[in-house]
């Protein structure tokens, strides 16, 4: 698939592809430019996304639209309290020759929409965890590799917590980004209502194939990074850890736990992807800052003092930045 003479030419091409990609999605999704950018960054970085927002903010529509613009297999899994691991992984059945045959579940796709992921019990969440981390599932003692690329885009409703199973920290850490969706601006909501209450059909063009996505994922990992930017990213994670030598005063005052090494990895790979879509050949500190909130907000845990004083996670991250 590689038709580029070098990585510089490929990076230039990625910038143009991102702009086409983004403009196609904006035909359907209005007023969520930053959200679209972060979801696309996670795809080019080979990461998973958690989309958190109240109902009606087009979380599911965004993932549906993304699947149409990418030439990839797409499956939606509605997570419910009675969902079992076999419902998403697949199950073994006895065929007509009296031999066990594995029937693949919906997890065997490229893009998985895990709708309302916090509504399913920990046992099913754990089955998804293996798939997210290992890009494989194990059943009946046999390991099955998942097709690449593989993305989990999960949605979560922050309001209604009755009958939900909060995601454990280990599972949250597998998500590259935790993206918060807010209400649209008034002008954007007018556009949304106007477009969605008419009978105008929107036709989306397919932009990227699986092979092209994998190529650009590898390209982003090859992008060089200056040592000072690398140290800034690692230091940003380190200062979130209360009680340690590098801990920031706000971390000691307001945090129970800080971000682990995976945060540093995602800050660097996210910064590389952010630089590439901006047409830069190496990330700088501003690129790290651009992805920091979405990388860190689900990896730091506030203490009682922060809760009592009403200090938000994003406020703490802004202070650290």
pLDDT in tens, 154-189: 988 876 666 677 787 778 889 999 999 888 888 888
Residue limits of CATH 1.10.8.80 in the chain: 224-320
Residue limits of CATH 3.40.50.300 in the chain: 7-212
Q: What is the per-residue pLDDT for 229?
A: 96
What is the C-alpha radius of gyration for the chain, rounded to an integer number of angstroms? 21
Domain 224-320 is of which CATH architecture?
A: Orthogonal Bundle (1.10)
SS3 at position 71: strand
CA 78-298-278 angle, to 5 degrees, is 95
Pairing status of strand 48-52 against strand 175-180: parallel
Q: What is the per-residue pLDDT for 224?
A: 94
User: pTM for the whole thing?
Assistant: 0.90
Fold exhibited by the domain 7-212: Rossmann fold (3.40.50)
pLDDT band at 285 (very low <50, low <70, confident <90, very high): very high
Neighbours of 301 (CB within 10 A): 16
Tokens for 141? 């003692």
- 292 φ/ψ angles, rounded to the nearest 5 degrees: -60, -45
What would the mean pLDDT of 81-100 be, rounded to a whole number? 84
Q: CA 249, CA 255: separation in Å to the nearest integer? A: 10
Residue positions counted in the chain: 321
Tokens for 215? 């190529």
- 185 φ/ψ angles, rounded to the nearest 5 degrees: -65, 160
Q: What is the per-residue pLDDT for 163?
A: 63
pLDDT band at 197 (very low <50, low <70, confident <90, very high): confident
Listed in sequence order, the residues at least 6 apart from 164 whose beta carbon sits closer than 8 Å to its beta carbon are 118, 119
Q: What is the per-residue pLDDT for 160?
A: 62
Q: CA 233, CA 228: separation in Å to the nearest integer? A: 9
Instruction: Give yes or no for a contact between 35 and 164, defined as CB atoms under 8 angstroms apart.
Output: no
DSSP annotation of 119: G
Q: Which residue has the tokens 């993304």?
A: 66
Listed in sequence order, the residues at least 6 apart from 161 whose beta carbon sits closer than 8 Å to its beta carbon are none
283: β partners? none
- Within 104-156, residue ranges assigned H as helices are 122-134
- 179 φ/ψ angles, rounded to the nearest 5 degrees: -105, 125
């Amino acid at each position: 698939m590689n038709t580029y003479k070098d990585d510089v030419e490929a990076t230039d091409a990625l910038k143009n592809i991102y702009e086409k990609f983004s403009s196609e999605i904006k035909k359907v999704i209005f007023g969520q430019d930053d959200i679209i950018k972060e979801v696309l960054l996670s795809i080019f970085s080979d990461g998973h996304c958690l989309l958190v927002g109240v109902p009606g903010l087009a979380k599911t529509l965004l993932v549906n639209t993304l699947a149409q613009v990418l030439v990839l297999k797409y499956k939606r899994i509605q997570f419910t309290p009675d969902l079992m691991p076999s419902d998403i992984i697949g199950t073994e059945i006895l065929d007509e020759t009296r031999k066990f045959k594995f029937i693949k579940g919906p997890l065997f796709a490229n893009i998985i929409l895990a709708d309302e992921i916090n509504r399913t019990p920990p046992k099913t969440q754990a089955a998804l965890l293996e798939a997210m981390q290992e890009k494989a599932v194990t059943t009946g003692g046999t390991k099955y590799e998942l097709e690449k690329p593989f993305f989990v885009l999960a949605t979560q409703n922050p309001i209604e917590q009755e009958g939900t199973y909060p995601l454990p920290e280990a599972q949250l850490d597998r998500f590259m980004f935790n993206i918060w969706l807010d209400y649209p601006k008034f002008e954007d909501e007018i556009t949304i209502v106007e477009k969605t209450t008419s009978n105008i059909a929107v036709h989306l063009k397919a932009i990227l194939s699986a092979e092209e996505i994998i190529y650009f994922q590898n390209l982003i990992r090859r992008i060089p990074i200056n040592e000072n930017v690398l140290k800034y990213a690692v230091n940003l994670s380190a200062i979130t850890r209360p009680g340690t030598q590098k801990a920031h005063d706000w971390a000691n005052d307001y945090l129970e736990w800080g971000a682990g090494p995976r945060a540093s990895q995602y800050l660097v790979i996210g910064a590389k992807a952010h630089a590439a879509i901006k047409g830069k050949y190496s990330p700088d500190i501003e690129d790290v800052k651009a992805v920091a909130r979405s990388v860190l907000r689900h990896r730091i845990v506030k203490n009682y003092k922060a809760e009592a004083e009403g200090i938000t996670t994003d406020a703490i991250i802004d202070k650290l930045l």
